[in-house]
């Protein structure tokens, strides 16, 4: 958009001066309606509800599948359905919602349908064992229950990820559509805050003891977490769908042709019309997602293993009671991780400043001289660098307390990762939409607005594809560790993920 900024350091906030060529665009941006805090909360709270589902899967999904008799290698492969659905479903939903003419909105129908699908799938997954056993008993084949249960688990996990990606695509596109470009960073921060709040509530619930279930504790814990996720998701989705209003779809020109052709064309146009800086964000996200995948799935298992190893040194362990205590200890570490990440999402919007502002060195204070480090992309790079350092530090970590400290510190990097890419991407896409809609009036606005979902779908692909690679790599690490007799393969998954984190840090720094 070509704004040129000049900061005045004597005043608490930097003010900007515009060139004459940008005066009309500036006047247009000033006229953009701003969302109130209440509307920002209603717009982004759905992200928090969706995060409770992610949390249930990330923190207890692997343990739950293990209680169903599914091996670590197979579990790692099953989790590849999440990024596969992200790479396929998200861009398709984005393009279809771009051209949707449903009277009550483009994005909200997909948010609602995705939420309903997610609720059905996670509920069925939580109760798959008793229902499968009952059905097999009714058909006189109780011995087939374990094998049939594993196939049903794959089916419900796949459907769950389809619902999650549909909903996530809809809500991220809704944020970009509804929120002005100047408020994209704030909206991203609110989304991160609700994500952190959902994590904290979920980890608190997951750390509670279950003394009244003596058998298969992990299965009952997963069912309790699923019920919590369904309740929160239902409430937040209702708030978002009811209180947020979208532009009337009839204002946009309807595309013609077969839906498959339109979808493919929409994805290609989304890539071609993406701002250059947004493409760079997708490249960073490719390596960032690859680095965080193993951590989000296996950090609780890592801390739990450290706890059990400590107990092993003090005598016999690995009883069900010790395993339950180890999982609760690991959940407490994850709670600290989520708390730190939530705190970062409150701090970062106040700490950051636009990358294009240049501070006057001759009048600069100590704080203003640190302005370079306060740029969004630089803070993202520092966060990824911190994450890489923490994963490599596992070579020196041997106790559960030090492991917990490392997990908690990683919350700083995760808070930045939750906020920075969506703030940068939202500003670029919404800013492009605002500029063209002013220059080209209604015709320009139609062409850009119709591609918001497609552009965000491309971003989702950039996040999903590396997760597929990371999941396959994790399976390979588990397989190789089993062959050579390494007991703790999880720590090697974390160490290898640090390499991708370091690459992401380098690209973010050069953004």
What is the pLDDT, as a whole number, of residue 201? 86
3-class SS of residue 7: coil
Q: Is 443's pLDDT higher than 80?
A: no
What is the pLDDT, as a whole number, of residue 151? 87
| Cα 449 to Cα 251: distance, rounded to the nearest angstrom | 11
Determine whether 443 is exposed, middle or buried from the number of CB atoms within 10 Å of its CB (0-12, 13-18, 19+).
Answer: exposed
Q: What is the pLDDT of residues 185-194, one digit of tens each?
A: 888 889 989 9
Q: Which two tokens stand for residue 198?
A: 């959902």
Q: Is 393's pLDDT higher than 80?
A: yes
What is the pLDDT, as a whole number, of residue 215? 65
Q: Looking at residues 364-372, what average pLDDT do you find?
A: 59
pLDDT band at 158 (very low <50, low <70, confident <90, very high): very high
Q: Is residue 294 part of a domain?
A: yes
| Cα 239 to Cα 241: distance, rounded to the nearest angstrom | 6
Asked whether 144 and 102 are in contact (CB, 8 A), the reply is: no
What is the pLDDT, as a whole number, of residue 291? 94
Round the average pLDDT of the chain to a whole number and report it.
79
pLDDT band at 20 (very low <50, low <70, confident <90, very high): very low
pLDDT band at 26 (very low <50, low <70, confident <90, very high): very low
What is the pLDDT, as a whole number, of residue 355? 52
Report percent pLDDT > 90 for the chain.
28
What is the pLDDT, as a whole number, of residue 12? 35
Instruction: Show the domain range for 441.
Output: 32-247+257-509
Task: Give Cβ neighbours of residue 336 (< 8 Å, ≥ 6 apart).
Answer: 404, 407, 408, 411
Task: Give Cβ neighbours of residue 392 (< 8 Å, ≥ 6 apart).
Answer: 495, 498
What is the pLDDT, as a whole number, of residue 4? 35
- Say which range, 77-91, 221-235, 266-280, has the weakest mean pLDDT: 266-280
3-class SS of residue 375: strand
CA distances from 485 to 311, 403, 489, 494 (A): 21, 23, 10, 18
Residues forming a β-bridge with 416: none
Determine whether 270 is exposed, middle or buried from the number of CB atoms within 10 Å of its CB (0-12, 13-18, 19+).
Answer: buried
Q: Which two tokens stand for residue 113?
A: 């349908």
What is the pLDDT, as a whole number, of residue 14? 39
What is the pLDDT, as a whole number, of residue 306? 87
Q: Is 144's pLDDT higher than 70?
A: yes
Q: What is the pLDDT of residues 196-215, one digit of tens each?
A: 898 888 878 877 776 665 56
Q: Is residue 146 part of a domain?
A: yes
pLDDT band at 435 (very low <50, low <70, confident <90, very high): low
What is the pLDDT, as a whole number, of residue 42? 93
Q: Is residue 323 part of a domain?
A: yes
Q: Looking at residues 339-359, what average pLDDT do you find?
A: 75
- Say which range, 148-162, 330-344, 349-363, 457-471, has the weakest mean pLDDT: 349-363
Q: Looking at residues 177-183, what average pLDDT do you find?
A: 83
Give 187-191's long-range contacts (Cβ < 8 A, gap of 24+): 187/35, 187/40, 187/43, 187/44, 187/426, 188/419, 188/422, 188/423, 188/426, 189/345, 189/346, 189/348, 189/349, 189/419, 189/423, 190/40, 190/41, 190/43, 190/44, 191/44, 191/47, 191/418, 191/422
Spell out where 352-409 has E strands: none
What is the pLDDT, as a whole number, of residue 112? 95
CATH of the domain at 370: 1.20.1250.20
| Cα 207 to Cα 220: distance, rounded to the nearest angstrom | 13
Q: Is residue 252 part of a domain?
A: no
Q: Looking at residues 49-65, what average pLDDT do you find?
A: 86
In the chain, the number of structural domains is 1
Q: Is 57's pLDDT higher than 60?
A: yes
Q: What is the pLDDT of residues 247-266, one digit of tens each?
A: 765 555 555 556 667 667 76
Q: Looking at residues 347-361, what average pLDDT do you find?
A: 63
Q: Is residue 5 part of a domain?
A: no
Q: Is residue 7 part of a domain?
A: no
């Amino acid at each position: 958009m070509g704004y040129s900024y000049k900061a005045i350091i004597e005043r608490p906030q930097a003010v900007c001066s515009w060139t004459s060529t940008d005066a009309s665009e500036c006047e247009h941006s000033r006229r953009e309606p701003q969302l109130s805090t209440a509307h920002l909360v209603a717009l982004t709270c759905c992200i928090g509800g969706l995060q409770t589902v992610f949390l249930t899967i990330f923190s207890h999904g692997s343990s739950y599948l293990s209680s169903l008799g599914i091996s670590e290698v197979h579990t790692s492969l099953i989790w590849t359905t999440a990024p596969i659905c992200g790479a396929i479903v998200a861009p398709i939903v984005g393009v279809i919602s771009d051209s949707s003419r449903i009277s009550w909105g483009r994005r909200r129908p997909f948010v609602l349908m995705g939420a309903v699908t997610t609720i059905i799938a996670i509920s069925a997954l939580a109760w798959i064992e008793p229902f499968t056993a009952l059905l097999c008993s009714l058909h006189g084949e109780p011995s087939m229950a374990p094998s049939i249960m594993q196939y049903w688990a794959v089916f419900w996990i796949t459907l769950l990820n389809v619902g999650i990606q549909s909903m996530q695509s809809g809500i991220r596109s809704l944020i970009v559509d509804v929120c002005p470009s100047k408020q994209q960073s704030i909206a991203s921060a609110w989304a991160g805050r609700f994500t952190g709040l959902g994590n904290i509530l979920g980890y608190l619930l997951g750390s509670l003891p279950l003394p009244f279930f003596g058998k298969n504790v992990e299965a009952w814990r997963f069912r309790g977490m699923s019920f919590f996720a369904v309740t929160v998701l239902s409430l937040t989705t209702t708030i978002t769908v009811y209180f947020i209003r979208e532009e009337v779809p009839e204002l946009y020109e309807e595309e013609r042709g077969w839906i498959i052709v339109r979808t493919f064309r929409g994805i290609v146009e989304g890539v071609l019309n993406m701002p250059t800086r947004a493409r760079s964000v997708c490249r960073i996200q490719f390596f960032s997602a690859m680095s965080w995948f193993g951590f989000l799935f296996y950090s609780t298992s890592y801390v739990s293993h450290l706890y059990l190893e400590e107990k092993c040194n003090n005598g016999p362990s690995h009883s069900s009671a010790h395993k339950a205590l180890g999982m609760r200890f690991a959940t407490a570490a994850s709670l600290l991780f989520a708390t730190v990440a939530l705190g970062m999402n409150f701090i970062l919007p106040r700490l950051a400043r636009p990358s294009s502002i240049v501070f006057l060195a001759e009048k600069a204070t100590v704080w203003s001289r640190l302005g370079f480090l306060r740029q969004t992309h630089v803070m993202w790079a520092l966060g990824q660098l911190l994450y890489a350092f923490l994963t490599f530090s596992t070579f020196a970590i041997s106790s559960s307390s030090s492991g917990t400290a490392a997990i908690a510190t990683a919350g700083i990097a995760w808070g930045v990762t939750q906020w920075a890419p969506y703030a940068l991407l939202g500003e670029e896409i919404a800013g492009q939409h605002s500029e063209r809609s002013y220059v080209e009036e209604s015709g320009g606005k139609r062409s850009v607005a119709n591609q918001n979902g497609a552009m965000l779908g491309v971003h989702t692909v950039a996040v999903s594809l590396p997760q597929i690679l990371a999941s396959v790599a994790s399976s390979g690490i588990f397989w190789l560790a089993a062959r050579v007799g390494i007991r703790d393969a999880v720590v090697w998954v974390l160490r290898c993920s640090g390499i991708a984190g370091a690459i992401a840090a380098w690209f973010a720094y050069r953004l």
